[in-house]
Structure 1
Amino acid sequence: MKARPTVQLWDPLLRLCHLSLATVFFADYFFNEEGDDWHQWLGYYGLACVLLRLVWGFVGPMSLHRFLADAVLALVCVHVLAAIVESLRLGENLPLSMITGRRRQR
Structure 2
Amino acid sequence: MAHRAAQAGESSSPAEGVRVRVWDPVVRLFHWTVVAGCVLNLFILEDGDLAHEVVGYTIAAALLIRVVWGFIGSPYARFSQFVPTPARLAGYVGALARGNEPRLLGHNPAGAVMMIALMVLLAGVCLTGWMSTLDAFWGEEWLEELHEGIANAILVLALLHAAAALFESWRHRENLVWAMVTGRKRP
With the length of structure 1 as denominator, give the TM-score of the two structures: 0.53
| Larger-Rg structure | 1
Q: Write the mapping of 1:1-106 to structure 2, written as runs, cut at 5 A.
A: 3-62=16-75
How much has 1:33 moved relative to structure 2? Answer: 1.1
2:48 counterpart SS class: coil
Aligned counterparts of 1:12 and 1:40: Cα–Cα separation in 2: 25
Larger RCO, structures 1/2 (Cα 8 Å, 6+ apart): 2
Consecutive unaligned residues of structure 2, counting only runs of 5 or more, are 1-14, 77-187
Aligned counterparts of 1:23 and 1:5: Cα–Cα separation in 2: 30
Q: What is the percentage of aligned positions where both structures have the same residue? A: 35
With the length of structure 2 as denominator, give the TM-score of the two structures: 0.31
Aligned counterparts of 1:5 and 1:61: Cα–Cα separation in 2: 20
2:21 counterpart SS class: coil
Aligned counterparts of 2:75 and 2:52: Cα–Cα separation in 1: 35
- Write the letter of the residue equivalent to 1:50: L
Q: Counterpart in 1 of 2:81?
A: none
Consecutive unaligned residues of structure 1, counting only runs of 5 or more, are 64-106
How much has 1:6 moved relative to structure 2? Answer: 1.6
How much has 1:45 moved relative to structure 2? Answer: 0.4
Q: Count residues in correspondence.
A: 62
CA deviation string 1:44-96 (max 9, x = no partner): 10011111100001111349xxxxxxxxxxxxxxxxxxxxxxxxxxxxxxxxx
Aligned counterparts of 1:26 and 1:33: Cα–Cα separation in 2: 12
Q: Which runs of 4+ in 1 moved over 4 A?
A: none
